[in-house]
Structure 1
Amino acid sequence: MISVRRAGERYRGGDADAGIESWHAFSFGSFYDPDNLRFDAILACNEERLAPGAGFDEHPHSHTEIVTWVVEGELTHRDSAGHATVVGPGDVQRLSSAGGVRHIERNDGADPLVFVQMWLAPRDPGGEPSYEIVRGIADSTPYALPQAGALLHIRRLAPGERTAVPGANAAYVHMVRGAALLEDEELGPGDSARISGEDGLELQAGAAAAEVLLWELGG
């Protein structure tokens, strides 16, 4: 089964007066949809846009795997476990909040910041928080998230290029930029697809280059 969700269907959150724009693919914060709480391990897929100087003040997380992909600009991260990093395009950032951690996310740069943040449910809640950043991850290198039984594949497709959708129990596709054809559905920026019980699927980029995040779930 393939369920396509369009960018225009996402719930808009954030605080425009504070320079924060957010688009949520699942129930999040004050927006509650009992039929859209999660897909397999994925609890949230948020696109965030922060103006220069804007950000999220220190706030808590627990029992969540948080994976961040920067599209444009630079994200400054600081947390209560002592990590302080700047995350740029091409970097994968993971924060395992485990039994509890607090962090700050800001745009301390001069340019607008756009990032996609995905929350996944761990198989075993609790434990000690941990943090990792992989700089400049390659297309051919999936990022393993064993805590949630998931693999993240980043695909940067040339015009017309094809890539296989992982044949897993479930897969989640998020289009970052460009367009790609999945079966007979064209996916554009911000569109997503939730896939279950399918094998042998491919994505084919359109006339321009495309960037897509593919989650292989249920491993």
Structure 2
Amino acid sequence: MDVRRAAERYRGGDPAAGIDSYHAFSFGPHYDPDNLRFGAVIACNEERLAPGAGFDEHPHSHTEIVTWVVEGELTHRDSAGHETTVRPGDVQRLSSAAGVRHVERNDADTPLTFVQMWLAPLKPGGDPSYEIVHGIADSTPYAVPEAGAMLHVRRLTPGERTAVPDGAYVYVHVVRGEVRLEGWELGPGDAARITDAKDLEAVGVTAAEVLVWEMAAV
């Protein structure tokens, strides 16, 4: 198990434009050849947008983009005609496939924080697609078969235990609160990269929200 702390993230974005980004993997101008991916995950970005700030239309291809809003509201528009508002508890996925363009903005008058995770598909190409699941429940895993991955959302009370899925690769990201995982205490923005996970469990030290990716071997 490889634990990466929030303080180790590379800071990007454009603070002058109201955009603060914190990258867990090699990203954009920050190139780290030893930190390109873990399993299917190639990016896990914490994004903070001030009211009125956002990312203007830009392209993506050959990437599964999954977004989780922590607080605030995210406005999404893409070149396939989708326009939605993503709120806390919603899972949004944009399968960019052979190519798509999109806009992400904070059109509200309150700050926006979201986690965006990029996964590499098993096969390149195909047609872009979009999906949003409103208010996903803890007991409902979200499958991204294009990347051989499954997302589990865990909301823990203090002292509550939850099983960590067995898997060739498991990526655990703490959204809020504190959890204990195999002797490690993880706080907001911390992550654990686990290879050949088996019979593990996480415990809420405080009330906590955790995103867990279960991934097949690549």
What residue is the counterpart of 1:209 in the other structure? 207
**TM-score, normalised via structure 1 length:** 0.98
Aligned letter for 1:56?
Answer: F
d(CA) in 1 for partners of 2:30, 2:209: 28
Counterpart contact for 2:46–2:115, Cα < 8 Å: yes
What residue is the counterpart of 1:150 in the other structure? 149
> How far off is 1:24 after superposition?
0.1
Counterpart contact for 2:76–2:84, Cα < 8 Å: yes
Counterpart contact for 2:165–2:197, Cα < 8 Å: no
d(CA) in 2 for partners of 1:91, 1:197: 29
What residue is the counterpart of 1:10 in the other structure? 9
Question: What is the aligned-residue RMSD (CA, Å)?
Answer: 0.6
d(CA) in 2 for partners of 1:120, 1:197: 19
d(CA) in 1 for partners of 2:29, 2:169: 28
How many residue pairs get aligned? The number is: 217
d(CA) in 1 for partners of 2:80, 2:176: 33
d(CA) in 2 for partners of 1:170, 1:45: 15
**TM-score, normalised via structure 2 length:** 0.99
Aligned letter for 2:61?
Answer: S
Residues 1-219 of structure 1: pairs in structure 2 closer than 5 A: 2-206=1-205, 208-218=206-216
d(CA) in 1 for partners of 2:42, 2:76: 21
d(CA) in 1 for partners of 2:15, 2:197: 40
> How far off is 1:61 after superposition?
0.1
d(CA) in 1 for partners of 2:183, 2:73: 35
d(CA) in 1 for partners of 2:98, 2:166: 32
Q: Which sections of structure 2, spanning at least 5 residues, go unmatched?
A: none
d(CA) in 1 for partners of 2:64, 2:190: 22
